[in-house]
Each structure stands twice: as structure tokens, then as C-alpha cells.
């Protein structure tokens, strides 16, 4: 079953739903939840009050965690932007879906990453199924607000990948030209970034209001706190965490506006909301006591906050240390929407709901890939970095493994214990080898 067939079959399978119409009347007999996924950009694990920050005040996210579930061992599937987003959109690790590094603006094909970019084309392969493509035929209204970063050629833009509408900067806010798109049209160039979060928020609220009577998917990948840092007047120079804190405090105000809107419209109890970040912190921000930052295979590159909210369904204030990954959002959402997963491909994600209800992780292991290399794996408290010829980190030491860390007790990954537990290292190497057998053969090329 290829992608087109999947989408057609899923739509038919949705049965009673008025596919194509998506009118409000559908909702009356439809208790499938709305899905809201909010993902900050380069926000660190330690940057929220509810994750220990003393510098940045995040009352809305704190309340979201207190009223829902906080995941303290939540992972991005990649330590950089495009790959991480590709995982949320497809439920697959980037090494499987082919988005192994960042896309630059299409005019920048000759970047230092050109060989990699050319290897993988210039957008998330059209043969992949996005979360929006999975939910739209099930009767979901779909919107993307924010940083897409999965291709800026027309055919790769959100409105051609299952989203009814799009509003945002199609890539990182430090990439030239910084343009604002509505659907597929450039409406502002350069973008006034100071007012961006305010406008993203308005767009999100309008979408929710318009679709309050039918199931919807709102995917809100924020532009900040990725540099350059911008905040609107009301938030500028207000945070004790400096300009970086300003952007996060405005971003989390934006989350608050969305949650408040769901409450006001009376649909909070029918809406699954998830907040996370795309990877570890970059120039600024706290990795929460972990080693390194964005672009590293150490925990600091991959560990991000995870907060879920679904009043009446999730237990208030639950804190789970079960490892989970942002690729889980795809199968979780598809299942909540009553759909079935594509059968012609491996989906790495696992249904998050058991973990969100206090259960154990469904992952045999957590995999750490960078570019097209599988470099490390975590199982339980053990993290094993295999020997490889690539970066573990960009710092000069570039330790190359093999290394074995107890990342529960040694969150800084400071003490390689491989001499004491060689069998554990061998076991984890074996798990990596088995998993690699499931990956596409040959170079993971752009598959249109």
C-alpha cells in the first residue's frame, strides 16, 4: 500500500465521517479528541520552571504539567531541527524517513551541507505519510502554524502535505530570506519577528475557534527560542532569563492562550495537547544538567521537556520517568483519531497513552542517530555509544566510543563504565545491529 492508497483507504475506513465536508455537524456524534502539538525550537530541558528553571517563569506550562502529565525522560528523535520535525510528522526516526540533516532555504543548495542535502532532496520525501495526511482523511481539520522546515519548494509545503492551512516561516528564523508564508504565498519579507509569536497565537486561536465543532489537528512548531531572539513589547526585557527568557515567556504565554481558548470553548476535555521542544538548547538555555547541547549525541542534544494535557482523561500531576520519543506523537494521534497505522512501512513511534497513564515505556530501546549514522542506544539506565568515525559531539574531544554510561546516576555522561560491564555493551551493540536491519537499505536517498 503506497501513500496514496493509504490515504484513500484510511478515508474510506473512516466510514461514517463526512470526508471532504468536515462540517461541524460531524462532531455531534464524534468524540474523537482534537490534537494540539506545540513544539518549541531549541528550548532546553531545564528552561521551564516546572523542569527546574529559576530564571524563566513559565506559569502556563507549569499549570499544564500540574494539571496533566510531565515526562522527565522525553526525547527528540534527533539533535537538530528538520530531522526532529520529520519524526513528529512521520512517526519514524529520521534515519528511516531520510531527513538526516537540516534543510536550508531552497536557494541555499550549495551550503556546507550540500552533499547531504543533495543526497536527501529538498524536502520530506513525498512518499512519506505526514501526521496531517493521516488525520485529514479521518475528518480532521488540519493547520500548521510556525516553523515547518521540511522543505520550502511548493510541493513540500504544509498545504501539500495534508494541512488545510499554513502560516509561518518555512524554515529557521536565521535563514535568509526570512519570509512569512500564508499557505504557499509569501506575505512578508523580511518578517517582523518581534510580533511573530503574537501573530502565531492569533492564527492558532482563530483556527481553534473556527473548528471547535469538529475534530482538528493543530501543529504549532514555534520559531523561538531559536536565534535571533525576538519578543514583542510586552515581553521584551522582562524575563530574569534575559532576551532568551523573554522569548520563552512569550511563547509560553502563547501556550496559555491556546489552553485558555480550549477551556473557554468547552473543548478542553476533548483535546489532547502535547508540548515539547525539537532538540536540546543551542547558544543559550539549560540542558538540565546533561552533557552538551543541540547537535550532540550526548543527552543534552536529545533530551527535551514533554508535557501532556487532557483534562478528565490524564491523571493530574502525574510525573513519569518512562522513556518516550517525539516519534510517538504520530501513532498516538492516529490511534486517538480512530485511524490505523500504515502497514507498508515501519513506524518507530509507540502509542504514548500507556505511558501517559503511568505505564512503562513501550520502546525496547531509544536510538540516537546523527545524520545517517546510528551512534548510540539507551535501554533502561544504560546508554551505549558505539565506536564510529563520526561526531558524538562537536567539542574537540569528539569521543568516538565504544562507551557505556549509566545515564540515570551519571546524567553528565562523564564516566565510561565499559570496562566494568562489557556484556552490557555487547548486548546494546546487538540491539543496534538488529534495529539497523529494519532500516532502508543503501543510501537513504530522497524518495519522491
Which residues of this chain interact with its own copies, rule CB under 8 A?
44, 46-47, 54-56, 237, 240-245, 281-287, 289, 292-296, 393-397, 399, 409-410, 412, 414-420
Contacts of 351 (CB under 8 A, 6+ apart): 328, 331, 332, 335, 362
Distances from the Cα of 429 to the Cα of 96, 162, 303, 378, 383, angstroms: 19, 38, 22, 10, 10
Our CB check for its own copies shows the closer of 117 and 336 to be 117
Closest distance of CB 74 from its own copies, Å:
19
Pairing between β-strand 382-385 and β-strand 403-406 as defined by DSSP bridges: antiparallel
Report residue 301 as a C-alpha cell.
Answer: 542534544
Distance CA 192, CA 164 (A): 24
Closest distance of CB 43 from its own copies, Å:
11
Closest distance of CB 241 from its own copies, Å:
4
Closest distance of CB 231 from its own copies, Å:
10
Closest distance of CB 410 from its own copies, Å:
7
> What is the three-class DSSP state of 95?
helix
Neighbour count for residue 427 (Cβ, 10 Å): 14
Distance CA 156, CA 163 (A): 11
Residues 216/164, Cβ–Cβ less than 8 Å: no
Contacts of 417 (CB under 8 A, 6+ apart): 404, 405, 406
Our CB check for its own copies shows the closer of 157 and 425 to be 425
Kindly state the DSSP code that residue 303 receives in the 8-state scheme: B
Our CB check for its own copies shows the closer of 274 and 298 to be 298
Our CB check for its own copies shows the closer of 209 and 237 to be 237
Closest distance of CB 255 from its own copies, Å:
20
Our CB check for its own copies shows the closer of 22 and 370 to be 370
Catalytically active residues, by annotation:
81, 149
Our CB check for its own copies shows the closer of 119 and 421 to be 421
Neighbour count for residue 387 (Cβ, 10 Å): 10
141 strand-pairing partners: 216
Distance CA 347, CA 322 (A): 19
Amino acid at each position: 500500500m503506497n501513500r496514496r492508497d493509504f490515504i484513500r483507504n484510511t478515508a474510506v475506513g473512516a466510514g461514517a465521517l463526512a470526508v471532504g465536508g468536515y462540517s461541524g455537524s460531524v462532531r455531534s456524534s464524534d468524540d474523537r479528541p482534537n490534537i494540539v502539538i506545540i513544539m518549541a525550537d531549541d528550548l532546553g530541558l531545564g528552561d521551564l520552571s516546572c523542569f527546574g528553571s529559576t530564571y524563566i517563569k513559565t506559569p502556563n506550562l507549569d499549570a499544564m504539567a500540574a494539571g496533566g502529565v510531565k515526562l522527565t525522560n522525553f526525547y527528540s528523535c534527533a539533535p537538530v531541527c528538520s530531522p526532529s520535525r520529520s519524526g513528529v510528522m512521520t512517526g519514524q526516526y529520521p534515519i528511516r524517513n531520510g531527513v538526516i540533516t537540516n534543510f536550508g532555504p531552497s536557494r541555499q543548495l550549495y551550503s556546507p551541507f550540500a552533499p547531504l542535502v543533495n543526497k536527501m532532496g529538498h524536502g520530506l520525501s513525498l512518499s512519506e505519510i505526514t501526521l496531517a495526511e493521516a488525520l485529514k482523511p479521518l475528518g480532521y481539520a488540519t493547520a500548521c502554524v510556525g516553523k515547518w522546515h521540511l522543505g520550502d519548494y511548493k510541493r513540500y509545503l504544509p498545504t501539500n502535505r495534508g494541512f488545510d492551512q499554513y502560516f509561518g516561516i518555512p524554515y529557521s528564523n536565521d535563514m535568509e530570506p526570512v519570509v512569512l508564508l500564508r499557505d504557499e504565498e509569501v506575505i512578508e519579507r523580511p518578517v517582523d519577528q518581534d510580533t511573530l509569536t503574537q501573530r502565531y497565537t492569533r492564527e492558532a486561536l482563530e483556527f481553534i475557534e473556527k473548528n471547535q465543532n469538529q475534530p482538528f489537528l493543530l501543529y504549532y512548531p514555534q520559531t523561538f527560542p531559536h536565534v535571533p531572539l525576538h519578543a514583542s513589547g510586552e515581553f521584551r526585557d522582562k524575563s530574569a532569563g534575559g532576551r532568551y527568557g523573554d522569548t520563552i515567556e512569550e511563547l509560553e504565554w502563547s501556550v496559555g492562550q491556546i489552553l485558555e481558548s480550549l477551556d473557554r470553548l468547552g473543548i478542553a476535555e476533548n483535546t489532547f495537547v502535547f508540548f515539547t521542544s525539537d532538540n536540546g538548547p543551542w547558544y543559550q538555555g539549560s540542558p538540565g544538567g546533561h552533557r552538551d547541547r543541540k547537535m550532540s549525541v550526548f543527552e543534552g542534544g536529545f533530551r527535551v521537556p514533554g508535557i501532556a494535557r487532557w483534562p478528565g482523561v490524564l491523571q493530574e500531576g502525574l510525573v513519569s520517568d518512562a522513556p518516550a520519543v517525539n516519534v510517538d506523537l504520530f501513532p498516538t494521534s492516529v490511534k486517538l483519531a480512530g485511524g490505523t497505522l500504515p502497514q507498508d512501512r515501519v513506524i518507530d513511534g509507540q502509542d504514548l497513552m500507556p505511558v501517559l497513564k503511568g505505564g512503562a515505556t513501550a520502546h525496547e530501546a531509544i536510538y540516537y542517530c546523527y545524520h545517517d549514522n546510528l551512534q548510540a542506544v539507551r535501554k533502561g539506565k544504560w546508554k551505549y555509544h558505539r565506536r564510529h568515525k563520526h561526531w558524538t559531539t562537536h567539542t574537540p574531544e569528539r569521543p568516538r566510543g565504544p562507551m557505556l554510561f549509566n545515564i540515570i546516576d551519571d546524567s553528565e555522561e562523564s564516566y565510561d563504565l565499559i570496562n566494568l560491564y562489557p556484556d552490557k555493551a555487547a548486548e546494546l551493540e546487538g540491539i543496534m545491529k538488529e534495529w539497523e536491519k529494519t532500516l532502508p537499505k543503501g543510501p537513504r536517498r530522497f524518495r519522491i
